């Protein structure tokens, strides 16, 4: 992959707090990468550094082969859609979209045509003359997107643009924005703390935690092979046990957990603390343990009916938890408190070394 | 039962209205009546006489010129101050606010006397200008229009800064960032975003400072003296020294008309710009 955007070793401190601790991120041309992480992990800080609104303490930012770190924001060709939209309150919808084109000194006729084109693309054409304050949140969002895209930036940055919208609208906007960016061939980094949003929209997802990127991979890989216990917890549901390696031979570790002994892949020193995880749809409930399977017996806490499937939650003391997803058809639900066997294949067992203390 | 009910808001403003009516509107009305009341009935002859006299036009010119300069300097000095105030945080902001507000509690007379000392030929201002090499030899600023404007700016600056500050404070700093990411350099962003958004504050500040400076009496009396008359000092002299109530009430009426024109004009401007956004 030839990197179109290349962030290397970005560090930023605010006083005593190390907000970014060496972030590396490469994005290919036309790619859509989500930055997914909990609130306060440094997502906005990273975006501001790329946009030129904040100087990193250390690191490089290369866009389209040019080092842009020393360029002011208005010379970077990086568009931003801010979390609160930041529309110009004294301008109409069309004037907001025209702002960047005028700043670039485009001829008036070209500006008008471009404004009309982008307002149509975000389906806001009929609102062109409205003052922006009279728009709903979703409409303001569309204007902000049109305004940023109209100048044709090399790279687009989105900072949780849909977090203020209700769920239904959010899902529509996700699909529309993704289609629009694909049609325009725009490279984009999209910040979100909503895993579903990241899974739906992204070519790749960067899992960010405490100022560092823990994994950068396609959505399926993030879900199926999380690189860290944090990635396992943050994306999707999972069963997880805290444990201690008691023996390790030939790349297979035997791990002592509160629910019993489990086998997992990896080379660990005996005594090492690890987290063992498995995704809910890999877990089977009931039946006899087969060769090559891990199994635990746990009391059922509750079942959540989701139409085609059931989510079964089992009783475990914190921070451990166990959840299984099974087809709802024909499954006879045991009463709460009944002990059931959970089994899953050894290959589906994920083992992570304990995260270093914060 | 009748459906007519008094708007409760009217009750809230009633004390202020009553107060202003008794101590302000009534005497003002009496004063204005004086300007048109002749021994043989009502006439505009005193206004005709006033505007026929070239001296009156000089006084009117003095008044407007000093007020314009004072307002302009307040605007140019006040704008950056208001920005600094709005963007500062914590202790520096408090310090700036105190530095701006506290001098208001010092009487105008005291301040004008202080400026008398500073503006003398051997005063601090002249000395500073000489040591900076801006002027070659000590100059007297006291009893000059420049000195008057300097003193007036000092007294009226807070009335420019405060409305600007309250408007700038409301402006989302991300708007300037958004402008930059759209390709606008600092000048374009200032011209197209900050300036239009702060205009209502500037209009309010201009109205305050302009109407205060056309009406100032103590400052010109102490800083420029009798040879230089404005509408306000002439009004004062007419009543206090010349015992010419007709002239005094006429100049007061002209002053009032100018002030009302400025306040209404700026109010109209502010509303138009408010509606435009
Ligand atoms: N200008 C700043 N001054 C001090 N601390 C800041 C500043 N900006 C962000 N932070 C801190 O840096 C951390 C990361 O912030 P941010 O990048 O906004 O996180 P996110 O966008 O992932 O929620 C937070 O703890 C925040 O309080
Ligand atoms: Mg953020």
Distance separating the N- and C-terminal Cα atoms of chain B: 44
Structurally, what CATH architecture does the domain formed by A237-242+273-353 represent? Beta Barrel (2.40)
Pairing of strands A252-257, A284-285: unpaired
Nearest Cα to Cα of residue B112 among B225, B234, B262: B225
CA of A138 to the centre of ligand 1 (A): 26
The answer to whether the CB of A42 is under 6 A from ligand 1 is: yes
The yes-or-no verdict on residue B173 having pLDDT over 50 is yes
The yes-or-no verdict on residue A203 having pLDDT over 50 is yes
Domain extents in chain A: 3-227, 237-242+273-353
Tokens encoding A111:
């500006």
- Could you say which of A74, A78, A84 has the minimum Cβ distance to residue B174? A84
The yes-or-no verdict on residue A98 having pLDDT over 60 is yes
Q: What letter does residue A321 receive in the DSSP assignment?
A: B
Predicted local confidence at residue B274, as pLDDT: 62
CATH of B51-106+152-275 given 3.40.50.40, 1.10.1240.10, 1.10.3720.10, 1.20.1300.10: 1.10.3720.10
The yes-or-no verdict on residue A332 having pLDDT over 80 is no
SS3 state of residue A188: strand
Tokens encoding B153:
């700016």
The answer to whether the CB of A14 is under 6 A from ligand 1 is: yes
Interface with B, mutate which of A74, A145, A159 (most B CBs under 10 A): A74
Using most ligand atoms within 8 A of CB, pick from A17, A39, A45 the residue to mutate for ligand 1. A45
Predicted local confidence at residue A58, as pLDDT: 96
Residue with tokens 């008094």: B6
The answer to whether the CB of A44 is under 6 A from ligand 1 is: yes
**Residues pairing with A35 in the sheet:** A191, A206
pLDDT single digits (tens) B50-82: 999 999 999 999 999 999 999 999 999 999 999
Cis (ω within 30 of 0) for the bond into A249? no
A131 in B contact zone (CB under 8 Å): yes
Partner-chain contact A131 B277, CB within 8 Å: yes
Residue with tokens 């960032």: B177
Q: Please give the mean pLDDT across all residues of chain A.
A: 93
DSSP H helix total and E strand total for chain A:
8, 20
A255 in B contact zone (CB under 8 Å): no
Nearest Cα to Cα of residue A20 among A211, A252, A248: A211
Name chain A contacts of B179, Cβ cutoff 8 Å.
74, 88, 99, 103
Predicted local confidence at residue A2, as pLDDT: 76
DSSP H helix total and E strand total for chain B:
14, 2
**Residues pairing with A89 in the sheet:** none
Nearest Cα to Cα of residue B167 among B130, B128, B196: B196
CATH superfamily of A3-227: P-loop containing nucleotide triphosphate hydrolases (3.40.50.300)
Order of strands, sheet of A260-265, starting from the edge strand that comes earlier in the sequence: A260-265, A252-257, A239-249, A273-278, A350-353
The residue length of chain A stands at: 358
In Å, how far is A27's CA from the nearest CA of chain B?
20
- pLDDT level of residue B276 (50, 70, 90 thresholds): low
pLDDT single digits (tens) A3-29: 999 999 999 999 999 999 999 999 999
Which residues have C-beta within 8 Å of that of residue B101, sequence separation ≥ 6?
Answer: B158
The yes-or-no verdict on residue A155 having pLDDT over 90 is yes
User: Mean of the pLDDT values across residues A298-326?
Assistant: 89
Name chain B contacts of A78, Cβ cutoff 8 Å.
181
Nearest Cα to Cα of residue A146 among A96, A196, A219: A96
SS3 state of residue A34: strand
The yes-or-no verdict on residue B1 having pLDDT over 50 is no
Residue with tokens 């500040």: B205
Q: How far is CA B80 from the centre of its chain?
A: 18
- pLDDT level of residue A283 (50, 70, 90 thresholds): very high
Provide the whole-model pTM.
0.85
ipTM score above 0.95: no
Tokens encoding A213:
């990127």
The residue length of chain B stands at: 277
- pLDDT level of residue A357 (50, 70, 90 thresholds): low
The yes-or-no verdict on residue A355 having pLDDT over 80 is no
**How many CB atoms sit inside 10 A of residue A215's CB?**
21
Answer yes or no: are the C-beta atoms of A109 and A156 closer than 8 Å. Answer: no
The yes-or-no verdict on residue B277 having pLDDT over 80 is no
More confident position, A328 or A149: A149
Q: What torsion, rounded to 10 degrees, do the Cα atoms B249, B251, B257, B259 define?
A: -110
Using most ligand atoms within 8 A of CB, pick from A12, A13, A14 the residue to mutate for ligand 1. A14
Cα–Cα distance for residue pair B260/B131, rounded to 1 Å: 44
């Amino acid at each position: 992959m030839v990197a179109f955007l290349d962030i290397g070793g970005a560090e930023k401190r605010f006083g005593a707090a190390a907000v970014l601790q060496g972030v590396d991120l490469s994005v290919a041309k036309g790619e859509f990468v989500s930055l997914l992480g909990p609130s306060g992990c440094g997502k906005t800080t990273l975006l501001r550094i790329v946009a030129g609104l904040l100087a990193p303490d250390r690191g490089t930012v290369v866009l389209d082969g040019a080092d842009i770190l020393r360029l002011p924001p208005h010379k970077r060709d990086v568009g931003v859609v801010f979390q609160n939209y930041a529309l110009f309150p004294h301008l109409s919808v069309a004037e907001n979209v025209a702002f960047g084109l005028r700043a670039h000194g485009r001829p008036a006729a070209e500006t008008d045509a471009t404004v009309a084109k982008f307002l149509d693309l975000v389906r806001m054409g009929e609102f062109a003359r409205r003052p922006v304050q009279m728009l709903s949140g979703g409409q303001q969002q569309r204007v902000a997107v049109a305004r940023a895209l109209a100048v044709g930036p090399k790279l687009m940055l989105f900072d949780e643009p849909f977090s203020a919208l209700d769920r239904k609208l959010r899902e529509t906007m996700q699909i529309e924005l993704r289609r629009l960016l694909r049609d325009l061939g725009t490279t984009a980094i999209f910040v979100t703390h909503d895993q579903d949003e990241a899974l739906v929209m992204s070519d790749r997802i960067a899992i960010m935690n405490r100022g560092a990127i823990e994994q950068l991979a396609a959505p399926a890989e993030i879900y199926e092979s999380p690189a860290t216990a944090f990635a396992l917890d943050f994306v999707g549901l999972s069963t997880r046990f805290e444990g201690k390696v008691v023996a390790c031979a030939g790349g297979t570790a035997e791990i002592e957990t509160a629910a019993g002994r489990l086998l997992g892949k990896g080379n660990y020193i005996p005594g090492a603390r690890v987290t063992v995880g498995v995704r809910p749809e890999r877990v089977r409930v009931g039946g006899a343990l087969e060769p090559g399977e891990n199994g635990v017996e746990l009391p059922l806490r509750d079942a959540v009916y989701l139409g085609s499937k059931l989510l079964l939650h089992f009783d475990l003391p914190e921070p451990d938890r166990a959840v299984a997803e099974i087809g709802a058809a024909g499954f006879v639900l045991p009463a709460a408190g009944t002990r059931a066997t959970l089994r899953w294949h050894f290959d589906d067992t994920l083992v992570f070394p304990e995260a270093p203390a914060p | 039962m009748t459906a007519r009910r008094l708007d409760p808001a009217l009750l809230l403003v009633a004390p202020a209205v009553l107060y202003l009516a008794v101590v302000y509107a009534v005497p003002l009305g009496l004063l204005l009546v004086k300007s048109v009341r002749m021994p043989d009935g009502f006439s505009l002859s005193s206004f005709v006489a006033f505007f026929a006299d070239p001296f009156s036009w000089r006084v009117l010119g003095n008044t407007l010129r000093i007020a314009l300069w004072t307002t302009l300097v307040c605007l140019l000095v006040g704008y950056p101050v208001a920005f600094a105030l709005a963007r500062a945080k914590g202790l520096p902001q408090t310090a700036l606010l105190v530095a701006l507000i506290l001098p208001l509690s010092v009487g105008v007379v005291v301040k004008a006397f202080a400026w008398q000392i500073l503006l003398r030929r051997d005063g601090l201002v002249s000395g500073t200008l000489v040591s900076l090499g801006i002027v070659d030899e000590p100059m007297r600023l006291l009893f000059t229009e420049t000195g008057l404007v300097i003193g007036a700016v000092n007294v009226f600056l807070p009335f420019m800064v405060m409305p600007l500050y309250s408007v700038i404070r409301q402006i989302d700093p991300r708007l300037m960032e958004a402008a930059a990411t759209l390709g606008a350099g600092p000048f374009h962003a200032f011209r197209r975003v900050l300036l239009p958004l702060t205009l209502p504050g500037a209009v309010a500040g201009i109205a305050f400072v302009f109407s205060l400076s056309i009406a100032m009496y103590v400052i010109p009396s102490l800083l420029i003296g009798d040879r230089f008359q404005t509408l306000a000092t002439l009004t004062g002299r007419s009543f206090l020294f010349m015992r010419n109530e007709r002239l005094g009430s006429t100049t007061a009426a002209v002053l009032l008309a100018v002030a009302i024109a400025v306040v209404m004009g700026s109010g109209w401007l502010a509303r138009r710009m408010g509606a435009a956004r």
